[in-house]
Chains A and B, each alone.
Chain A
Amino acid sequence: DIQMTQSPSSVSASVGDTVTITCRASQDVSRWLAWYQQRPGKAPNLLIFAASSLQSGVPSRFTGSGSGTDFTLTISSLQPEDFGTYFCQQANRFPSLTFGGGTKVEIK
């Protein structure tokens, strides 16, 4: 199975800061990576698919990049509503899907 490792496990930042979250795959997953935000008590919400494609309705301050084994989610100009836990998910080894362990983002 492909393992997904996220770092950091948590980050605290101020409104207006830039936050960067990384996701590393144990094997090459090409560009088949998605990112989700999950607020407490809510279902995950899709942000990015195919490594860098922004889901409709998601603010442009969310940017995804990377390919192969190393991926990044960047939140530019952090907003109060961006708190929550962020998960990456690989989709290269059909049909198996695996998620990263999550990165908790807190607003200072």
Chain B
Amino acid sequence: QLQLQESGPGLVKPSETLSLTCVVSGDSISSDRNHWGWIRQSPGKGLEWIGTIFHTGSTSSNSSLKSRVTLSLDKSKNQFSVKLTSVTAADTAVYYCARTLYYDFPYGAYMDVWGKGTTVTISS
């Protein structure tokens, strides 16, 4: 069955770049119906959508983060990644990757399979 696993450094210094990778197993990252998302959750807070990378490689991201976010696909390794530049303490969170499906593209997106999450702390 489909599984996702996030990886990356647990500690990043302020002003540096946070880089995370999500390895996908059990399905092809290139499959037409599969799109891939990043979501984060700050301590004790709710969920925040970071961005989505579509199977075509096109991307979209939260307008509040847009200038700092880069999403990418690596089809050869069946994985996708996110980079967040100029991080601050406000970027401390658990970061999740998830498969994003659409009920009736481009409407009705939902995340049906999630990774376990990785905790990232921004601190010097």
Contact = CB atoms under 8 A, between A and B. Distances in A.
Contact of A49 (B37, B46, B108): B108
Given A32-B103, A44-B114, A49-B103, A99 B109 contact: no
Interface string A22-36: 000000001110101
Contact of B46 (A46, A53, A92, A99): A99
A50 B108 contact: yes
B96 interface: yes
Interface residues of A, number: 28
B87 interface: no
Nearest to A97: B49
A92 B112 contact: no
B106 A94 contact: yes
Nearest to A45: B114
A102 B52 CA distance: 22
Contacts of B112: 46, 49, 55
Given A50-B103, A96-B62, A44 B47 contact: yes
Given A91-B108, A99-B47, A53 B116 contact: no
Interface of B is mostly: strand
Interface in A63-108: 87, 89, 91-92, 94-102
Nearest to B115: A43
A102 B37 CA distance: 20
Nearest to A34: B110
B107 A91 contact: yes
Instruction: Enumerate the 8 nearest inter-chain pairs by beta-carbon distance, A residue then B residue, closest first.
Output: A95-B60, A91-B109, A43-B114, A94-B106, A49-B110, A34-B110, A97-B49, A99-B47
Nearest to B64: A1
A46 B48 contact: no
A46 B110 contact: yes
A84 to B, nearest CB: 13
A95 B106 contact: yes
B116 A43 contact: yes
